[in-house]
Amino acid sequence: MPCHLAILKRKYLDLIISGRKSMECRLTRIPCAPFRQAAAGEKVLFKQSAGPIRAQAYIEKALFFGRLTPDSIRGLRRRYNDKVCADADFWLSRLDCRYGSLIWLTDVTEIPPYRIRRKGLRAWIISEDDQFDL
């Protein structure tokens, strides 16, 4: 079963660990992971940007959207931001995105921080063997 590595800013990772943020939202201009590549029951590891992996969770549910418009993105914000907990700058900076992934999280666990080597700028990586020493 695939394992996912999500890289995000510390403020959002802290919200996930605290339980306040229960959904991860990824809006992109091109179709890229996790778009149509995440499913219920799969594990997600959460890595702080420029920092360690600090938490894990499981995907409870995933929804994917194509052909997004600025109006549909504003609709996603109205409907889901209580779970996404994104600031206004996040939503404004994503108005030109065309693809969206909403990932409901369950069984969030803070884990002892550990670092991995990572190359590249991808913010969501999928591994078939739970290894992220990239």
Block means of pLDDT (10 residues each) for the chain, length 134 residues? 94 98 98 98 96 97 98 98 97 98 98 84 84 55
122 part of a folded domain: no
Predicted local confidence at residue 9, as pLDDT: 96
15 part of a folded domain: yes
20 part of a folded domain: yes
| Cα–Cα dist 131/93, whole Å | 32
Parent domain of 110: 3-115
| Cα–Cα dist 127/41, whole Å | 15
* Report field, pTM of the whole predicted structure over 0.85: yes
Token pair of 29, please?
């201009």
Predicted local confidence at residue 116, as pLDDT: 85
Q: Tell whether the torsion through CA atoms of 19, 75, 93 and 64 is positive or negative.
A: positive
The CATH number for 103's domain is 2.30.130.30
Predicted local confidence at residue 131, as pLDDT: 66
Predicted local confidence at residue 51, as pLDDT: 93
How many domains are there within the chain? Answer: 1
Q: Tell whether the torsion through CA atoms of 29, 118, 111 and 37 is positive or negative.
A: positive
Closest CA to 103 of 54, 47, 36, 29: 36
